Each structure stands twice: as C-alpha cells, then as structure tokens.
Amino acid sequence: MKSLKFAAAFILAAIMFSCTTTSTSSTTATNSAAYTAGQSFGTSFKSLFSSYKSTGKLDMTNTTNLLNIATLANSCTTIKSQAKTSAVYKDFAKGAVVAGTGIINNSNVDNIISSVSNISGLSNVKNNSTVQNATSVVSGLSSILNALSK
C-alpha cells in the first residue's frame, strides 16, 4: 500500500511538472516583425561567417557579402534602443538563434547582437547607397567572425 501511494505521488508530481513546463514554454511570437528581422539577421550573419571561414576575410567584391551586411544593418534597426528584457528584443534574439543555427546560440546571441549593433559605421550601410565607412564595418565584422571561428 505504501509503494502504491509513493507511485501515485510520483505520477502526480510528474504530471504537475509537465504541465508547468508546457505552460511556461516560450512566448516568442514567431510571426512578429522582430522575429522575422532576427531571422534575417541570423541568416545573414551565418552566411557571412561561412564566407569568412572559407576565405579568411570578408570579400567586399562579393555581392552576396554586401547584401548580407546591408541586411544586418537593416535588421539591427528593429532592436535599436530595446532593452534585452523587452518582448521585441527577445523575439529578435529567438529569430536570430533559429536562423543562425550552428553559429548563433542562446549562450552567445546577446553578445553577437550587441557586437554587430555597435559596429562603427554600420548604420550608414542602410542609409546610403554606398558604404562610406566600409573599412570600419568590415573590420568590426571580421573581428566578430574571427572570434567565433576559434
């Protein structure tokens, strides 16, 4: 009888734990603009990382690299001035992790977003038809990508 009570208590605890876990699962809005921007960010960053890893540099004559840098710049405007605790930031970060699989993860997403967002001249990429501060942008991105490739 004692073992039956123990088994019942164990089953009840397991059910309560699973219900709690299910009810507190991610509240990320996968259809939000921030999540979509985060996916664009993650996809572009992953592509730039691949290019950097294969060539050892960011080739600025490669149109795909230029488009990916412009996408990073545009995506970063979504989270400008957003606190890390805001729903917008969390949705963006989740989208970046999903799209940047293998490169961006829950452990490094905040550092990557912060590092890329703070690259000098990155905001000029989205505002101008030409990249006026290309050297600082490429230098900043190269530093981040180099750190990840080690």
State residue 104's pLDDT score.
Answer: 97
C-alpha 134, offset from chain centre:
23
Task: Decide: 38 and 77 in contact? Cβ < 8 Å.
Answer: no
Phi-psi region of 79 (alpha: psi -120 to 50; beta: other; left: phi over 0): alpha
CA distance 56 to 12: 56
State residue 97's pLDDT score.
Answer: 97
- Spell out the per-residue pLDDT of the chain, length 150, in tens: 444 444 344 444 445 444 433 332 355 677 789 999 999 999 999 999 999 999 998 888 888 988 898 899 889 888 988 999 999 999 999 999 999 999 999 999 999 999 999 887 777 665 554 555 566 677 788 888 888 877
Q: Where are the domains of the chain?
A: 31-149
C-alpha 21, offset from chain centre:
24
CA distance 105 to 39: 13
Q: Evaluate the CA torsion angle 76, 79, 80, 83 in order and state its sign.
A: negative
Number of H helices, E strands in the chain: 7, 0
State residue 60's pLDDT score.
Answer: 83
pTM of the model: 0.71
State residue 130's pLDDT score.
Answer: 52
State residue 121's pLDDT score.
Answer: 76
State residue 50's pLDDT score.
Answer: 95
